[in-house]
Each structure stands twice: as C-alpha cells, then as structure tokens.
Structure 1
C-alpha cells in the first residue's frame, strides 16, 4: 500500500489508520525528517508492520520515475495506491508566479497520472487492488483566488470518474474523496479566508480519514467526509451555474478590491450566502 503526502494532515492520518490493518506501507513525502518520524511512530505502535519510506518531490516527474524504479528494484508490490499529495496557493491568478503554477499542475495532476499509470496495470493483471484519490470539495466550486488549484481538482474528479468506469469488473476499486474544511492541527499550507459556514462544516482530520477509508472499503465512487459537508455538496450540485457565480462574487470582489461592495451591481451579483469559503483540503504535501 503506497500513500503520498504523508508528512502532515490527511495523508499522515491515513497512514496512522492504515497501519492497523495493512501488512506493509510505502510512505512518500518531500520531508525526509517527517518521514523518519512517522516511520518510528508507526513501528512503535505496530512492531510487525513493514514500513518503507521514500523521500520524493512529486512535482518533479523524474523523481516519480525514480520512486517507482526503486520499488521495482526492491520487489515491492503495490496493491493499493493512495494519491493524497497536493499543493495549493491563494491569490489572484495574474499575480501567481508561473513556476509555482507549473509546480501545482505537476503535483496535483501529473503525479497521480504517472503513479496510477505505472501501478494500475499490475492490479488489473492480478484482478485485485485499489486507487484512492484524495481531492477537494473546492474542485466543484467557483473559488476566487484558487483558480489553478480548483482546476487541478476538477481534473482529478474527471480522471477518477472515467477511470472507475474503465476498471469496473476488473477487481480494482477506484474511489475519490472530496473533503470540506478539515482541522489538521495547523500543520498544512496556509489556508484561504473562510466563509461563515466553515466552522460548522469543519471536521477533525481523524474523522476525515476514517470516513474516507470506510467509503473506499465499501467501493463508493465519491466520499464527502462529514455529514454537514456531504449535504452541502449535494445541495450545491443542484444549483445552476449562474447562482454559483453569484454566491462567489462577493469573495471575488473582496479578493480584488478588499471589499464586496465596489461599483454598480453586476447582473450576476444577486445576494447570496458564501456556502463554504474555499476548499477544505488545500495542502502542500507534494
């Protein structure tokens, strides 16, 4: 079982919970120090667990190839792949640096594609396995300040849904998790400003991980951790695009001008309550 982005947040909690039920874990993150600390923690609680750590910057495709070659040389077979690592930034698109944009695209899109491409074929041959993709509820929202991040999450959503259909009947399970606000203990990347409902939607990271794994074990196609977030996402799916634009327009104005009430009303600026205030899983764990 291979898990990316385990240095903090949801990835680290997934590793902790999976350590109680897996025989071997392959832990991948950029920080070698955090990898070693997590390895020691897991072995202290589960002495018979096999733990293999790989320090890897997933925003560099050549590093992904090196990771996979290392697994092959050491005869490590991956039955379950957890694509959790990701990166996110908050700000106006024209002010983002291109290297950072490219890094996000590589980490959030290219890395899951490469890992899945190299590992899923053997799963199909063995007629068993699983792909668990950790995305974000922000992928289906119109979030000003997160244009690139939201775009990468929509890509992951489309990829996961199509891949699931392709693999039906092969014995390989494909599940996507789209969290809302998650309390990670403050050890993740800086979060964007949150809307008035964020505190109501927020859940502990342990609950997020446990609901994600429970949905994966039930072979669910899409998991929204947290009851309030789940109902909010189902409601949002019923809203027309025009309404969604109106809902997020005040946030866009605040981002651009520092206020939501500058200038004449836009045709799509009908009053609306900010539903969630940004994705719950903007992380920096590539």
Structure 2
C-alpha cells in the first residue's frame, strides 16, 4: 500500500526552508496540488514561483499560518474547506526547539514549542484524518527527531515533544491498519540546514562529524522513499542508521551516564552549541530550520 502522493493533494507544514522546502521540491514532480504552510509568507511565495516554473501544471496553495496559534490552524483548515481543497497527504514537518536549562526558559517559549511540536500536528491530523479514513486512502508523514528515543540535557522540552510524537505516530499507525491510510515517522539525525548561516552560531548538526551529517535534500528523498514503502520509521543516512542500531542495544543507564558530561557543561554555563558562547538561553530552531515553523 502506498500513500496517495501521485496526482494527490499534499499539505506540508514548515515548507519555507530546510527539510520542508526540500520535500516540496521533490513532491512537486508527483503531486497534483501542494499546500505550503509556514509563518513567512514571502518565503512561501518565492518557493511557489520556483515550483511553478519547473512544474507548470502543478497547483500550489500558499497559506501563512503561525502553528503556535491553534486559532490560526483552525482558520487554515476552514479556508481549505471553503475552497474545496481536499488533502490526501499531511506532512507534519514544522518543528521548534530551544537549547538551555529548563528552569531558565520562559513559560511563553515552552508553551510555543509544545504548541508547534505537539498541538499543531494533533489538530491537523484530527481534522483531516476522518475524511481520509472515509475515502479509504490517505497518508500521514510525521517528521520527528533522532531525540525521539534518546535524551540530551538542554533539550528537555524539545525531547519531550518528540517523544510524544513518536508514541503518537506508532499508536496511530496501529489504529489505522487496514484503513488505507499510510502512517510513517521520519527521525532525522544531523541535517545541514541554513540555520548556521542565518544565526551565525554552531548548531548540534554543525558539531556532528561530516560523515554523520546529510543534506536536507537527501533527508527528504529518503523520507519519501520510506513513506512510499509504508515503512513505520525512517532514519535517513546510512551512517546514522547504523549509529541508531548500535545505540538501541545500550541499556538506559548507559545513556543516562553518557549525558552527564553535557549536563555538567550546561549547568556551569558552557553551551554545547557554541563553546565560545556562555549564553545557556541561546535559541535554536531544530528540524525545520529557523523558518520551518
């Protein structure tokens, strides 16, 4: 069973940069219509023009939406309904992260991360899934994180939201067996995005060795290949896949111990993202890049 990408309508959140933008570029050759969702409308319009130049028969719908605001997500879905846009495949790609000690985070920032990483995918899936089940065809592609089954000090909230997405996706997949709806989760490791250039800082992906990092284009390509095969979980990148397999054999206590040096560095004011920058409240957007929300 394959998700109805070909000649279907695909909605992508966080489509303005990073993995989301690469997914849009690769899906443009197959889909009938793409619904591009993000906060930065000018970036979406530039992407729309690029896609239409290469694929003149493609339909592209640009929807500016702050996924941290459930009212805006509702408005987005209502707009699609009014314009008779039927979504065949939902790609929950947008992700927001923050690096720093939990007690030093503002509650507004924590709430924003939970809204983007948890509430928005839940709401979009809930509103769109019933029609997919009724039609007996559909697809849900959730872009998670390598931290969905691991943990790292400084990313407590981000880790927690990705653990939630992992459990949600796995359980939802079981519920939808035999309905015609394909559910796949992608858990990328270090992916090169434009965050380094935009922020001028060293991200977790940037500190990973070059043999472990992959491009956003490769991540998108392997994600879609796994989705087409209805695989439950995709780890893009050969080296990263082997690392995941090896780490899955480690007892939880070993993983805890491995995180202690990072915790001590963070507590004493040294950022792992940028050793020269002692600001433990440093902001970093993960997965979708700085424009990926």
CA contact 2:18–2:216 (8 Å) conserved in 1: yes
Using a 3 Å threshold, how does the CA distance of structure 1 residues 210 and 49 change in structure 2: closer, same or farther?
Answer: same
Using a 3 Å threshold, how does the CA distance of structure 1 residues 24 and 120 change in structure 2: closer, same or farther?
Answer: same
Cα distance in structure 1, aligned partners of 2:285 and 2:153 = 11
Using a 3 Å threshold, how does the CA distance of structure 1 residues 50 and 149 change in structure 2: closer, same or farther?
Answer: same
Match of 2:145 in 1: 136
Alignment of 1:204-215 (within 5 A): 204-215=215-226
SS in 2 for 1:239: coil
Match of 2:279 in 1: none
Question: Is 1:110 paired with 2:116?
Answer: no
Moved more, 183-192 or 138-147: 183-192
RMSD over aligned CA atoms reads 2.0
CA deviation string 1:140-183 (max 9, x = no partner): 22211100000000000000000000000000000000000001
1:238 to 249, 271, 282: 249
> What TM-score does the superposition give when structure 2 sets the normalisation length?
0.87
Match of 1:42 in 2: 51
Cα distance in structure 1, aligned partners of 2:263 and 2:287 = 20
Using a 3 Å threshold, how does the CA distance of structure 1 residues 280 and 4 change in structure 2: closer, same or farther?
Answer: closer
Offset of residue 192 of structure 1: 4.3
Number of aligned positions between the proteins? 269
Using a 3 Å threshold, how does the CA distance of structure 1 residues 76 and 196 change in structure 2: closer, same or farther?
Answer: closer
Match of 1:152 in 2: 161
Offset of residue 194 of structure 1: 6.0
Offset of residue 282 of structure 1: 6.5
Question: Is 1:57 paired with 2:35?
Answer: no
Question: Is 1:76 paired with 2:82?
Answer: no
Alignment of 1:187-202 (within 5 A): 192-193=203-204, 197-202=208-213
Higher relative contact order (CA 8 A, sep 6+): 2
Moved more, 163-172 or 200-209: 200-209
CA deviation string 1:198-224 (max 9, x = no partner): 432100111000000000000000000
Question: Is 1:124 paired with 2:133?
Answer: yes
Moved more, 246-255 or 124-133: 246-255
1:203 to 200, 204, 214: 214
> What TM-score does the superposition give when structure 1 sets the normalisation length?
0.89
Using a 3 Å threshold, how does the CA distance of structure 1 residues 280 and 28 change in structure 2: closer, same or farther?
Answer: closer
CA contact 1:203–1:226 (8 Å) conserved in 2: yes
CA deviation string 1:236-269 (max 9, x = no partner): 1111111001111111111111579xxxxxxxxx
Offset of residue 185 of structure 1: 3.4
Using a 3 Å threshold, how does the CA distance of structure 1 residues 68 and 8 change in structure 2: closer, same or farther?
Answer: same
1:93 to 87, 102, 108: 102
